[in-house]
Each structure stands twice: as C-alpha cells, then as structure tokens.
C-alpha cells in the first residue's frame, strides 16, 4: 500500500461510537453530561422520547456501563435517578472530540 493510499484510509476510518451516535441515546448522554444527575421524568420531558423508548435506550447505556440507574421510592412512588459513570463521561467526551474532528476536516 502506497503512502497516498494509507493517508486516504486514515482519513476515512473515523472512530464514531455507534452506541452514543444513535439520536435518542445521544440526547440522553448530552443531557446527563451537564448535570450531576437527572430523574427519569426530567429526561422524558427533555428528550421527548416515549416511556418505552427512553427505558430501552437507558437499558443499553446501562449495559455498556455508561450510566448508573438508581431506583428508589419517594412517598411510596417509584423514583429513578440517573447519572453518567466515569466510563460514560469519558466515552461521551471522546465521541464529542471525534465528531469535532470530523466536522473540522470537512469545513
């Protein structure tokens, strides 16, 4: 492989975290990145996702170790609090940097 071919390959092999890149999960991660924690109802209102969609996306993020989900009862009502883990914050910051690099390259 020649030098030009290697440079072309390097330019086209972008490392985008596909788990975060999905629009619903991206907006969840963005909201959680700017707060210490958020509850399920807050995220539902902010993202516009349905109960089921939000729950499914949160499960995937939790399975990846990106968020912590704490379930408790407040006045006999279930209350779910979420926050980014260190791994999740690192993954989101890495994702942001990757996207920034891609956009700068095409500017």
Per-residue pLDDT tens digits for 30-47: 999 999 999 999 999 999
Residues 49, 76, 61, 64, Cα dihedral to 10°:
-170
Whole-number pLDDT of residue 39: 96
Whether residue 94 is predicted with pLDDT greater than 90 in this model: the reply is yes
CATH code, residues 18-105: 1.10.10.10
Residues 6+ apart with CB under 8 A from 83: 32, 35, 36, 37, 38, 67, 68
Where does the pLDDT of residue 13 fall: very low under 50, low under 70, confident under 90, or very high at 90 and above?
low
CA 33 to chain centre: 9
Q: Mind listing the pLDDT tens digit for each residue in 48-85?
A: 999 999 999 999 999 999 999 999 999 999 999 999 99
Residues 6+ apart with CB under 8 A from 53: 24
Q: Domain extents for the chain?
A: 18-105
Whole-number pLDDT of residue 15: 84
Whole-number pLDDT of residue 8: 47
Whole-number pLDDT of residue 107: 82
Whether residue 7 is predicted with pLDDT greater than 80 in this model: the reply is no
Indicate the pTM of the whole model: 0.84
Summary mean pLDDT of the chain: 90
Distance (Å, whole) CA 67 – CA 90: 11
């Amino acid at each position: 492989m020649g030098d030009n071919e290697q440079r072309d390959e390097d330019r086209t092999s972008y490392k985008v975290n596909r788990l975060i890149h999905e629009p619903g999960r991206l907006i969840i991660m963005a909201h959680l990145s700017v707060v210490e924690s958020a509850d399920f109802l807050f995220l539902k209102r902010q993202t516009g996702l349905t109960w089921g969609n939000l729950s499914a996306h949160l499960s995937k993020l939790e399975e990846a170790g990106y968020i912590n989900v704490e379930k408790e009862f407040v006045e006999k009502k279930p209350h779910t609090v979420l926050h980014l883990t260190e791994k999740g914050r690192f993954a989101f910051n890495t994702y942001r940097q990757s996207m920034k690099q891609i956009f700068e390259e095409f500017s």
